[in-house]
Amino acid sequence: MQKDEKGITIKKEDNFSEWYTQIVQKAELIEYSRISGCYIIRPRAYAIWEKIQEYFDKKIKELGVKNCYFPLFIPETLLQKEAKHFEGFSPEVAWVTEGGSSKLNEKLAIRPTSETIMYDTYSKWIRSYKDLPLKLNQWCNVVRWEFKHGVPFLRSREFLWQEGHTAFATKKEAEEEAYQILEYYTEIFEKVLAVPVFKGRKTENEKFAGADMTLSVEAMLPNGKAVQGATSHNLGQNFSKSFDIKFTNKNEQFENVYQNSWGISTRSIGIAVMIHSDDKGLVLPPNVAENKIVIIPILADKDKNINKKARELGILLKQFNPIVDNREGYSPGWKYNEWELKGIPIRIEIGPRDLKSKQAVIVLRHNGKKEIIKLSSLKSKIQESLETIQDDLYKKAKIHMKTLIDDTTDSKSFEKTLKSNRIALIDWCNNSVCEEKIKNTYEGVKSINIPLNTKPKGKKCISCGQESQVRCFFGKCY
């Protein structure tokens, strides 16, 4: 008996929010839990996260970073130790006040981020320049309780991420690493997830609480909103002074260390899903697809030879972790729709005529292109096609991103861009007062980041008329 599988019932361009909700549920990425804003990450989605972990973990270990784990609970006194940091996170903190039937002597924060608890320990571990650099990272969950409306992957009360925390003897070392990590995050999005990003520096108003500088990679979603993909924070000596993290240098003088913190989260999964998927369902870049192909035998009177050949092809193509769908009671067409919905990059069809001709039909998920391939060259063709899909998805997203960004040169075009739910790149004064004025004038609009290595085109800020200092992206964001 076949299941009643309805697929996606809303078009992406008609109702983006509802379309996305259907994608993540029907493609079996997310299940809603009984706790508002907390989502169950299903195996198909967690497999994507594992691919991201695998790529980034290898990169940072080449830099000498080691993985560790710190407690989930942070004493209130530690969280308050760096004033700007605490002020920035206090609205989002979830607190534990009781254990069993006993009230705690001190409130415990459920980890919103780990700077405070880790740096309290760093002050014990770092004594001499010989203890530096100290480079640690943890893969963990965090809780940030306050938000207006939950969006699976993009905005949730609990999410998974990695947070790197490093300490150096010199400012130069710390700054170099902050930019290096930004490059790695760019690679994750562009090479692994096939998502183009623009990288830059956050404004003073938008930088991480307690940081000297925040660098970010930002992506453009199909609905015209920008979304922060990952951040790399240069903390300077702000935390090391608050937590008394000192070392004796080669001249036996005391100095405070220079620090960085950096992170990418499961938000990255949602970004890729939103950008690539279509009205048939999930579209996955091959580099993060757990199962890169599905083999569907087309049976004629339960021809056992076709099922046998399908199994043989599964063995031949095992490097692509294939699914051999030889379930009974489901028509080939029903199977096609199911695996399109779940985003398998390539479908292989083999029927009686294919068996006789020693061939198979391959269908690419992202564009529906069909091709007849001889079995003798199937393995090489699959590899070639996967590379094509990865490249096609990136190029398509890159072209679309450019259509959502306007390089604006005057106040009228700036206003027109913002009102049309697009992102504006402007000459800007880099003044916090002007930034607040823009936020107050255009509902939901804020600065996104200041692109690296760019100079203003004109002499005046197109918003307030003061002398321009930088170019900056402004628009609506998640």
Whole domain around residue 357: which residue ranges? 291-387
Q: Could you tell me if 44 and 138 lie in one domain?
A: yes
Residues 6+ apart with CB under 8 A from 423: 220, 224, 226, 404, 405, 406, 417, 448, 473, 474, 475
pLDDT, one tens digit per residue, over 126-153 is 999 999 999 999 999 999 987 778 999 9
Using the Cα atoms of residue 186, residue 187, residue 190 and residue 195 in order, give the sign of their dihedral: negative
Considering the domain boundaries, does residue 155 fall inside one?
Answer: yes
Residues 252 and 338 in one domain: no
- Give one word for 137, left, alpha or beta, with left for phi > 0 and alpha for psi -120 to 50: beta
- What's the pLDDT tens digit per position in 419-440? 898 999 999 999 999 999 999 9
Quick one: 45 and 190 in the same domain?
yes
List phi, psi (to 5°) of 253: -110, 150
The answer to whether residue 335 scores a pLDDT higher than 90 is yes
Q: Is residue 446 part of a domain?
A: yes
| Domain contains 2 | no
Given pLDDT bands bounded at 50, 70 and 90, which one contains residue 1? Answer: very low
Instruction: Summarize the confidence of residues 45-58 as an average pLDDT.
Output: 98
Looking at the structure, do residues 358 and 440 belong to the same domain, yes or no? Answer: no
User: What's the total number of domains in the chain?
Assistant: 3
Peptide bond preceding 133: is omega within 30 degrees of 0, i.e. cis?
yes
* The model's pTM: 0.95
- Do residue 359 and residue 441 come from a single domain? no
Do 423 and 417 touch, CB atoms closer than 8 A? yes
pLDDT over 80 (residue 174): yes
Residue 239: which of 112, 134, 120 has the closest Cα?
120
Return the CATH number at 344.
3.40.50.800
Residues 54, 189, single domain; the answer is yes
- In this prediction, residues 154-175 reach a mean pLDDT of 97
- For the stretch 301-322, pLDDT in tens is 667 799 999 999 999 999 999 9
Is there a single domain that holds both residue 167 and residue 239? yes
Confirm whether 79 is domain-assigned.
no
Residues 365 and 467 in one domain: no
Shared domain check, 267 and 313? no
424-453: b or e for each residue (b if 16 or more CB lie within 10 Å)?
bbbbbbbbeebbeebeeebeebbbbbbbee
Considering the domain architecture, whether residues 265 and 320 belong to the same structural domain is answered as no
Residue 415: CATH number of its domain: 3.30.110.30
Residue 96 within a domain:
no
- Whether the pLDDT of residue 2 is over 60: the answer is no
The yes-or-no verdict on residue 180 having pLDDT over 50 is yes
